[in-house]
Amino acid sequence: MDFRLTPEQQMLKDSARDFLADHCSSDFVRQMEQDRRGFTSELWAGMAELGWMGLLIPEEYGGIGWGLTELVVMAEEMGRACLPGPFLPTTLGALALAQAGNEAQKQEILPAVVSGEAVLTLAYLEAGCAVYDPLFQAATARKQDGAWLLEGGKLFVPDAEASHWILLCARTSGSLRDQEGISLFLAPRAARGLELRPLKTIAGDKQFEVSLKEVALPPDALVGEAGQGWPLLEQLLMTGALAKCGEMVGGAAKVLEITADYAKERVQFGSPIGRFQAVQHHCANMLMDLESSRFITRKAAWSMGQERPNPMLVAAAKAWVSEAYRRVVSLGHQIGAATAYIVEHDMTLFSRRAKAAELAFGDAAYHYGQVAQRLGL
Amino acid sequence: MNFGYTDEEERFRQELAVFLDKHLTEEIARQNWEDKGVGPEAREFSRKLAAYGFLGMGWPEEYGGKGLPPAYDFILLDELGKRWGAHVPLDVGYTMVGHTILRRGSEAMKKEFLPKIVGGEIEFCLGYTEPNAGSDLAAMMMRAEDKGDHFLISGQKTFNTECHYADYHWLAARTDFSPQGTGYKGVSLFIVDMDAPGVTVRPLWTMSGERTNEVYYDEVKVPRERLVGEKNKGFYYMMEALGSERNQVFVPSRLRPVLNMLLAYAQETRYQDRPLSKDPVVRRQLARAAVELEVAEVVADHSRWLEALELPMTHQPEMTKVMVSELEQRLVNAGMRILGPYGQLEEGSPWAPLGGRIEWYYLHSFMTTIGAGTSEIGRNVIAQRGLGLPRG
Ligand SMILES: Cc1cc2nc3c(=O)[nH]c(=O)nc-3n(C[C@H](O)[C@H](O)[C@H](O)COP(=O)(O)OP(=O)(O)OC[C@H]3O[C@@H](n4cnc5c(N)ncnc54)[C@H](O)[C@@H]3O)c2cc1C
C-alpha cells in the first residue's frame, strides 16, 4: 500500500496547478459563466499543449495513454480552479472512440482531440425522465436507405454548442429501460435536424437540450456494435463519475483552505473565530469529509485499473463525495458568513458547482441504488 | 390547554385570506428583500393592506392601531407566509423597529413614525453590522459625536439590506468613546433619513441575486430628536427587541408553499409508471419535512404565546430562529433531491421545474443560518440563557 502519488503523477499535478494558477483565475471563471461558449481558445490551446486532452488516449493516436488515477489527480486540480469548458465531455467522447470506435473514427478524431482541434461531448440523458437514469433511452435510431435516422431528444448535454462532435445515445431495439438495444453514434454537431437550446444552470456551465429530428448519419457513424452500447456507456459514466469526484475533492480542498484561513484571520469577540469550538468542530468536520472523499475517490479510480476492478467503489465514491462536498460548502458558507455569501466571493463559485457536480453522472440517491444492486439487493 | 384560535381570530384570518387571495399576486409576493426587492406595487399593496384594516391590529389605537392582542399580527404574518409573501412588504418597520419606537421612543417620535408604519407607508432598514462587527455587534465603531442639538455621524455599515429602497436607516452607532463606553455600553440608536446629505449606499449582490448594501456616513448631521430613547442605551434596546423580532421574522408558515409545491410535484411527476410520491425515499423526505414544519410551527407558537402574555422569553425565540432557518435548509435540500438533475435549472431555463423556485431557494437558504445572527451564536444563546451554562 502506498498513498503517495508517483513522481509522474506529482509532476502532472504540479504542472496543472501552475498552469491553472496562471490561466484560470476566479475572475476568469466568473467571466466564463457569462460567456456563451464558457471557455476561450487560448485556454484550450494551452491545455492541449500540456497534453491534457490526450490523457486517456492511447499513444498510437498521439495521447499519453494514462489511466483513471491520473485523470482523478488532474480533476482535483481542475475542481480546485473551477476550470470551465469541455475537458471532461471531450475526454469521455475520446474514450468512447478509443474503446469502441472504428479505425477511421479513431484516426480522424483522436489526434484532433489531442491537439485541441476537436471538442466532443456525450449526450445520454433525456427530458422524459424525472430522475437520473441513463437506461432511459427513448430516442431512436433506425436504418433507412443505408443511413441511420435518429429521432428524439437529449437533455443536460454539456458544451454541446462548442462541440464538433456529439456522441449520441439512441435505441436501436428493445424497450425503454432495456440494456440491450442501446447504441452510440458519432454525429457532427452541425448535422441537419440536430438543434440546440441552451439551459440556464446553477453553476453557469453550458448545458443544452439537443433535439433530433430525422438526423441522418452514415452507417459508419455507429460507435461499436448496434444495440450493444450499454457496457460502453456504463464505463463512460463511471469514468465521468470518478472525474467528478476528483473535481469535488479539489473543490472541497480549496473551500477548506479558504475557510481555515478565514477562521484564523477573522476576529470577533476579541479573538480569531477559529478559536471558538463551534467553528473548530465545523472545520474538523470539513477535514474529515475532505480526506475521506479524497481517499475513496483515489481508491475507486485505482481499483478500476486493476485486474479485478471493484465498480461498487465507484458508486460508493460518487455517493459519498456528492454528499460530503455539499456538507463542506455549507460549512464553508457558515463560517465565511455574510462575507462569503456575496456573489464576488469565491465561495459562491464552489457552492454552485458543488450542486452541479453532485448531480452530474448520478446523484447520491442514484449511486446508493447502484451500491444496493452490487450488494445483490 | 388550547392550541387553537378564538372565533374572532378565525374570522379575521378568513377575511384576510379572501383579501390576500385577491390582492397578493405572485408579482407582489416576490417583492420583498429576499427576492426582487420592494417596488411600487409592493408599497401599494402595503397601503391597501392598511386601508382594508389588516395592518396594525396589535398596535395601540392612539398611533393608528386597533389595540388588539398580538395574535392578530401573527395571523397576518402566517397568512402572508403561506402565499410566498413571507414578509409584510414594508417589514422592518412593522415587525422590528416599530416596537422599539413604541417602547422607547419619545412621544413626538411615536406620533411621527408609528401611524405611518401602521399605515404601510414607510420602511426602515437595519444598520447594525459593520465590517468588523458581525456576530460581535458590540465591537461597532461607527462614530456619532454629540454636538448638542445634533449628532455628527461618520463611518461604515455593511450588509444593510433594505437601504436602497427604505426611507429611514435604523442606525446603531457609538456615542461614548471613553474607556467606560467600550463594548455594548456606548452604543445609541438613531433614525436617519436615507436621503440625508453624506449618506452613500453601495450595492452588494448576493449569491441568490438579492441585494444588500454597504452604507457610508460622511459627517452626517442627525437632529437630536432622532436619537431613540436615551443616549448609550442603544445596545440594551436592541437586545430587548430581539425576542419579539425573532418571533415576527422567523415565520414557519413561509415554508408551507415550498412543501406544497414539492408535494404537488411528487404527485404529478411520474417515473417508471408511478408518481414519484410512491417512491419510499421521496415519501420519507416529504413526510419528514412535514413533521419538521409542524414541530417548528408549534415551537414558534410557544414563543409567540410567551410574548403575547408578556411572560419572560429567554432562549425560546432563539430556538425558533435556529429551528426554522435550519429546517428551511433541509427542506430545500430535500426539494433539490426530489427534482434530481432538473434541480440545477434556473428560473427562465427550458425544463426548469416549479419555475426554478427551488433552485433559487436553495441558493438563498445558505443565508438563513447566517442573517440576523448565526446558528452558532444562536446555540450559544440557547445554552447560556436556556440552561445557564457558563459563557465561553
Ligand atoms: C443576506 C444578508 C442580509 C443581512 N442583512 C442585514 C441587515 O439588514 N442589517 C444588518 O445590520 N445586518 C445584516 N446582515 C448581517 C448579519 O446580521 C451578519 O451576517 C451576522 O450577524 C453574522 O455576522 P458576520 O457575517 O460578520 O459573521 P461573523 O460574526 O464574522 O462570524 C463568522 C463565523 O464565526 C462564527 N462565530 C462568531 N462568533 C462566534 C462565537 N462566539 N462562538 C461560535 N462561533 C462564532 C459565526 O457563527 C460564523 O460561523 C445580513 C447578512 C446577510 C447574509
Cell numbers at B237, concatenated = 434596546
| A255 interfacial to chain B (CB closer than 8 Å) | no
A285-315 per-position pLDDT tens digit: 999 999 999 999 999 999 999 999 999 999 9
Does A221 fall in a domain? yes
Q: Are residues A242 and A358 in the same domain?
A: yes
Q: Could you tell me the distance, in angstroms and rounded to a whole number, from the CA of residue B135 to the centre of ligand 1? A: 5
| Length of chain B measured in residues | 392
Mutation for testing the A interface, residue in B137, B206, B342, B369 having most A CBs under 10 Å: B342
| In a domain? residue A1 | no
- Residues in chain A within 8 Å Cβ distance of B272: 177
What are residue B222's phi and psi, to 5 degrees?
A: -120, 120
pLDDT of the residue at B85: 81
Looking at ligand 1, which atom is closest to the CA of residue B126? 9
Contacts with B169 (C-beta within 8 Å, 6 or more apart), sequence order? B124, B125, B127, B160, B163, B190, B191, B192, B193, B194, B199, B215
- Strand bridging mode A182-188 / A147-158: unpaired
Taking the Cβ of residue A190 and every Cβ of chain B, the question of whether any pair is shorter than 8 Å is answered with no
* A144 shares a domain with A41: no
Task: Name chain A contacts of B371, Cβ cutoff 8 Å.
Answer: 338
CB contacts, 8 Å: B136 with chain A:
268-270
Assess whether A219 and A335 both reside in one domain. Answer: no
Domain-located, residue A2: no
List helix spans (H) across chain A.
Answer: 7-23, 26-34, 41-49, 68-81, 87-100, 103-114, 230-265, 277-304, 311-341, 347-359, 364-374
Q: Are A341 and B367 a contacting pair at CB < 8 A?
A: yes
Q: A237 and A332 share a domain?
A: yes
Cα R_g (chain A), whole angstroms: 21
| Residue A115 covered by a domain | yes
Instruction: Find chain B residues with C-beta within 8 A of A130's C-beta.
Output: 269-271, 276, 340, 342
Give the residue whose CA is nearest to atom 29 of ligand 1: B135
Question: Both A96 and A131 in a single domain?
Answer: no
Strands (E), chain B: 124-127, 143-146, 150-158, 168-174, 187-193, 199-205, 211-223, 227-228, 270-271, 274-275
- Convert B2-28 to b/e letters by CB count within 10 Å (16 or more is b): eeeeeeebeebbeebeebbeeebeeeb
A339 Cα nearest atom in ligand 1: 25
CA nearest to A310, candidates A243, A246, A230, A370: A370
How is A125-180 classified by DSSP, letter by letter? B-TT-SS--TT----EEEEETTEEEEEEEEEEEETTTT-SEEEEEEESSS-TT-ST
- Taking the domains of chain B in order of start, what are their residue ranges? 7-89, 126-236, 250-386
Strand, helix or coil at A267?
A: strand
What total of structural domains would you count in chain A? 3
Task: Using a CB–CB cutoff of 8 Å, tell me whether A355 touches chain B.
Answer: yes
Each residue's pLDDT tens digit, A237-282: 999 999 999 999 999 999 999 999 999 999 999 999 999 999 999 9
Do residues A140 and A212 lie in contact, with contact meaning Cβ atoms separated by under 8 Å? no
Q: Average pLDDT over chain A, rounded to whole? A: 98
Instruction: With CA atoms as reference, report the closest residue to B228 among B168, B178, B163, B179.
Output: B168
Cα–Cα–Cα angle for A202, A203, A204, rounded to 5 degrees: 95
Q: Which long-range contacts (CB under 8 A, 24 or more apart) does A63-68 make?
A: A63/A94, A63/A98, A63/A110, A63/A114, A67/A301, A67/A304, A67/A305, A68/A239, A68/A242, A68/A301, A68/A302, A68/A304, A68/A305
Task: Return the residue whose CA atom lies nearest to atom 17 of ligand 1.
Answer: B372
With an 8 Å Cβ cutoff, are B380 and A343 in contact?
A: no
Residue A187 lies in a domain: yes
What gap in Å lies between CA A116 and CA A48, rounded to an integer?
A: 5
Burial A45-64 (b: 16+ CB within 10 A, else e): ebbbeebbbbbbbeeebbbb
Q: Does the pLDDT at position A229 exceed 90?
A: yes
The Cα-based distances of B378 to A134, A229, B33, B88 in angstroms read 44, 55, 23, 24
Residues A93, A142: one domain? no
Residues A108 and A165 in one domain: no
Residue A68 above 80 pLDDT?
Answer: yes
Alpha carbons B328 and B368: distance in angstroms, whole number: 8
User: Same structural domain for residues A301 and A338?
Assistant: yes
Query: Which position has the grid cell 437630536?
Result: B224
For residue A265, what is the domain's CATH number?
1.20.140.10
DSSP calls for B321-386: HHHHHHHHHHHHHHHHHHHGGGGGBPTTSTT-GGGGHHHHHHHHHTTTTTTTS-HHHHHHHIIIII
Query: Distance between CA B105 and CA B102 in Å, rounded?
Result: 6
CB contact under 8 A, B340 and A132: yes
Identify the residue among B282, B370, B377 best suited for mutation to test binding to A, counting A beta carbons within 10 A and taking the highest: B370
Encoded amino acid at A110, one letter: L
- Burial of A75 by CB count in 10 Å (0-12 exposed, 13-18 middle, 19+ buried)? buried
Domain boundary among A212, A227, A242: A227
A19/chain B closest Cα distance in angstroms: 28
Contact A156 B341 (CB under 8 A): yes
Distance B30 CA to ligand 1 centre (A): 25
| Residues in chain B, pLDDT under 50 | none
Distance from the Cα of B41 to chain A's closest Cα (Å) equals 27
B281 CB neighbours in chain A (<8 A) are 365
Quick one: cell of B339? Answer: 427534482
Provide the pLDDT for residue B89: 78
**pLDDT tens by residue, A163-212:** 999 999 999 999 999 999 999 999 999 999 999 999 999 999 999 999 99
The proportion of chain A whose per-residue pLDDT surpasses 90, expressed as a percent, equals 100
d(CA A113, CA A52) in angstroms, rounded, equals 10
The ipTM of this complex is: 0.97
Give, in order, the Cα–Cα distances in Å from B165 to each of A134, A254, B35, B100. Answer: 48, 37, 14, 21
Yes or no: domain B7-89 corresponds to CATH 3.40.50.720? no
Task: Tell the residue nearest (CA) to atom 33 of ligand 1.
Answer: A335
Q: Is the dihedral of CA A132, A134, A140, A145 positive or negative?
A: positive
Ligand 1: which atom is nearest the Cα of residue B136? Answer: 29
Provide, as residue numbers in chain A, all residues whose Cβ is less than 8 Å from the Cβ of B343.
Answer: 202, 355, 359
Residue B241 near residue B195, CB atoms below 8 Å = no
CB atoms within 10 A of CB B301: 18
Q: Containing domain of residue A150, as a range?
A: 121-227
Q: Which of B158, B160, B207, B360 to mutate to test the interface with A (most CBs of A within 10 A)?
A: B207
Q: Are residues A162 and A106 in the same domain?
A: no
Question: Which SS3 state, helix, strand or coil, does residue B148 take?
Answer: coil
User: A209 lies in a domain?
Assistant: yes
Let me know the angle formed at the C-alpha of B127 by B123 and B131, rounded to the nearest 5 degrees: 145
Domain B250-386 has CATH 1.20.140.10: yes
- Among partner residues A130, A279, A326, which is closest to B276 by beta-carbon distance? A130
Three cell numbers, residue B23:
390582492
Q: Which three cell numbers stand for residue B87?
A: 414578509
Among A200, A227, A254, where does a domain finish? A227
CB proximity A269 to B under 8 Å: yes
- Protein fold of B126-236: Butyryl-CoA Dehydrogenase, subunit A; domain 2 (2.40.110)
| Contact call for B346 and A351, based on CB within 8 A | no
Buried b (16+ CB within 10 A) or exposed e, B189-209: bbbbebebeebebeebebbbb
- A/B interface, count of CB pairs below 8 Å: 118
Point out the domain boundary residue: A175, A200, A227. A227
Residues A276 and A332 both lie in one domain: yes
Contacts of B270 in chain A (CB under 8 A): 130
Q: For residue A88, how far is the Cα from the chain centroid?
A: 5
Chain segment B22-62, per-residue pLDDT in tens = 999 989 999 988 888 899 999 999 999 999 999 999 999 99
Distance of CA B137 to CAs A269, A359, B127, B142, Å? 9, 39, 11, 11
Length of chain A: 377
Query: Cα distance from A188 to chain B (closest Cα, Å)?
Result: 24
The atom number, within ligand 1, closest to the CA of A266 reads: 30
Q: What is the CATH number of the domain that holds A129?
A: 2.40.110.10
Identify whether residues A253 and A369 lie together within a single domain: yes
Phi, psi of B8 (to 5 degrees): -65, -40
Interface test mutation site (partner A, options B366, B375, B382, B384, max chain A beta carbons within 10 A): B366
Handedness of CA B190, B195, B196, B202 (dihedral sign): positive
Which residues are registered as beta bridge partners of B192? B169
Give yes or no: residues A242 and A367 share one domain.
yes
